[in-house]
Chain A
Amino acid sequence: MQYLSTIRVLFTMFPEIKTQNLVTGRKSGVMRQNAPPQGRRMGETSMAWLLLLPFIGLLWVPFYNFETPTLFGFPFFYWYQIAWVPISSLLTYVVWRSKRWGDEA
């Protein structure tokens, strides 16, 4: 069972990702327990609309159905869509950090 406990150790090495709250500048984790519960928004407006951008950017095909400009040998069609992977992830991250979600203790 030795390697099982090794895996357990790996988890304790990488616990929850601790990051700055973009809006409040607070660290997540311990501080969050003192924060007001129940979905109170820290910013004035919800950032949830940002989640619509990947749909617009990717589902409207005429935006990107081109071979040029190429990047690292990739035609535009390919690198444009691949670029949306980190962009979409970043947008999701911003939305997540932009407000306190009622279901997250």
Chain B
Amino acid sequence: MISADIDWSAFAVFAFFFILVSAMGFVAARWRRPKTLAHIDEWGLGGRQFGTWITWFLVGGDFYTAYTVIAVPALVYAVGAYGFFALPYTIIVYPIVFAIMPRLWAVAAKAGHVTAADVVHARYGSRPLELAVALTGVIATMPYIALQLIGMEVVIKALGLNGEIPLIVAFLILAFYTYSAGLRAPALIAFVKDIMIYIVVIVAVAIIPLKLGGYSAVFAAAQAGFQAKGSGSITLAPAQYLPYATLALGSAMAAFMYPHTLTGIFASSSGATIRKNAVLLPAYTLLLGLIALMGYMAYAAGIKPATANEVVPTLFKALFPGWFAGFAFAAIGIGALVPAAVMSIGAANLFTRNFWKAYVNPSMSASTEAKVAKTASLLVKLGALAFILLLDNSIALNLQLLGGLWILQTFPSVVFGLFTGWFTGRALFVGWAVGFFGGSFVAWTDGLKPLHTLTYDGAHYTLYVGILALVANIVVAALLSIIPGFAKQPLIKQA
């Protein structure tokens, strides 16, 4: 389990912070203590009372995941400017949040909805559509949790710990405190995680360029590296314009359809909280832009990571003393716990409300709901753990890529009903099916690549396949909504 090259100062700092947040996770059940935690609003949404600052830390900690910190620099290291699409993506996501989420929150808060599928069911009275939204949420989230584990695996390995036992231990601790404290645990831990990440990134982007001769040297080294490699560049090729823009747009529209991000929305205390956060959350995007540049710093530092995923840990080990590297690894490791916890809670809420309550036990009480959700969150996490231990990591990666396409197909069902009565439940269901299965099929035939090339009049257009599927989804739903047979099913007026 412990290899000879373990860095003890790094390990000690890492262990200290890990134990600290684990303790916080367990005492979180008593934070802003409710009368009872045996209610799904308390366990699964923290009591719907999180104000501006808690929501800022929670959504920030949950949307900008540990995997992001590992994967974005890895992609930038591998392909250059193209990997930077994460930046426009995480900028335009906030106008979208601002326009949509306060309305969604208001509908959910008024009627006591816990999940997006609850909202959809209340709006259209369609069980199939509710199940489609819920199932899509769960299966899109599972590989996402698995990716958080991969992020954690990378930093545990960088500490010099080998084998799977440290990962299993970390995950079991996470599973237990999420079980007992619900959403309060990641909300409280998010404070520590986010402050640590801010410290790490600010130090890194100030000190690393100093050591490497400034940012112009960093960009020059990266460009030279790409030229030597014969692929990648620090600006985009014209053929990459459309993929870059459609990936950014599609990802931004999908981002807040995931159960974990929506859980952060539903848990907030008001529409004003969400609007303020649409103004304040871009601070994390600034951070992400700087994190992405670590992919270029790797060229300037002359490090040779074994895999692209090891760019960030290798860079920290090469340029910083052991204790600071340990601090950075702890920040990333804890950064995996927060989203993993919220994701499992979001998936558990879906399972409880839109499967168990809908089909197994419609008359269950709020406390039974909480019980079912707690158990479901354990199972979801164990499932993700088994995924990582038993299957190849590339499967999780491919599924997560498809997950973005899948979750994007719930956008019309969840959002359109907030603004218009044009669409009917049945039409949206068929639209969802066309986007979901059609999009998956196209991605499958392209070898699980997120991009698809269309040829029109001899010209080639390469787009994010999720956007193509969404267009098909919307067109089908809009057309079917005007066919009388499909319009028969009455709309349920919003309460």
Q: B-contacting residues of A (Cβ < 8 Å)?
A: 1, 4, 7-8, 11, 14, 16-17, 48, 51-52, 54-55, 58-62, 65-67, 70, 72-75, 77-78, 81-82, 84-86, 88-89, 91-93, 95-96, 101, 103-105
* Minimum distance in angstroms from B109 CB to a CB of chain A: 9
What residues on B are CB-neighbors of A7 within 8 Å? 31, 188, 191
- Contact check, A58 vs B248: say whether CB atoms are below 8 A apart: yes
- Identify B248's interface contact among A59, A62, A92, CB under 8 A: A59
Contact A11 B53 (CB under 8 A): yes
**15 more A-B residue pairs beyond the given contacts A75-B219, A89-B279, A104-B270, with a C-beta to C-beta distance below 8 A:** A52-B95, A58-B88, A58-B91, A58-B92, A61-B244, A61-B245, A72-B215, A78-B84, A78-B293, A85-B87, A88-B282, A89-B94, A91-B95, A96-B275, A103-B270
Q: Contact check: which of B94, B244, B272, B293 meets A88 at CB < 8 Å?
A: B94
Find out whether the CB atom of A14 lies under 8 angstroms from the CB atom of B106: no
Within 8 Å CB of B272, what residues of A?
A: 16, 101, 103-104
CB distance from B30 to the nearest CB of A (A): 7
- Asked if B445 is an interface residue, CB under 8 A from chain A, the answer is no
How many A-B Cβ pairs are below 8 Å? 134
CB pair B248 A105 closer than 8 Å: no
Shortest 8 CB-CB contacts between residues of A and residues of B: A73-B215, A73-B216, A58-B88, A51-B95, A61-B241, A103-B271, A104-B272, A89-B282
Residues in A neighbouring B279, C-beta threshold 8 A: 89, 92-93, 96
Instruction: Tell me if B214 and A92 are in contact (CB < 8 A).
Output: no
Q: Which residues of B contact A72 (CB under 8 A)?
A: 215
Query: How far, in whole Å, are A9 and B367 apart by their CA atoms in the complex?
Result: 31
Could you pull out 22 A-B pairs where Cβ atoms are within 8 angstroms? A1-B30, A4-B31, A8-B32, A11-B53, A16-B276, A55-B249, A58-B248, A59-B88, A59-B245, A61-B240, A62-B241, A66-B235, A73-B214, A77-B236, A78-B293, A81-B91, A86-B282, A88-B282, A89-B94, A92-B94, A101-B275, A103-B272
Q: Are A54 and B286 in contact (CB under 8 A)?
A: no
Query: Dominant SS at the B interface?
Result: helix
> In the complex, which of the residues B95, B102, B214 contacts A54, with contact meaning CB atoms closer than 8 Å?
B95
Within residues 78 to 134 of chain B, which ones have a CB less than 8 A from any CB in chain A? 81, 84, 87-88, 91-92, 94-95, 98-99, 102-103, 106
Describe A's contact surface by its main secondary structure.
Answer: helix
Task: Output the least CB separation between B174 and chain A (Å).
Answer: 20
Residues of B within 8 A of A78 (CB): 84, 219, 289, 293
B219 contacts A73, C-beta separation under 8 Å: yes
Bound CA–CA A68/B270 (angstroms)? 44
B347 contacts partner chain A, Cβ-Cβ < 8 Å: no
* A93 contact set on B, CB distance < 8 A: 279
Q: Select the residue from B81, B92, B106, B209 with max chain A CB neighbours within 10 A.
A: B92
Partner of A51, one of B32, B99, B103: B99
Contact of A81 among B88, B241, B275 (CB under 8 A): B88
* Least CB distance, B58 to chain A, in whole angstroms: 13
Partner of A4, one of B27, B54, B241: B27
B282-A61 in contact (CB<8A): no
Q: Complex formed: what's the CA distance from A74 to B235 in Å?
A: 12
> Are the C-beta atoms of B215 and A59 separated by less than 8 Å?
no
B245 touches A65 (CB 8 A): no
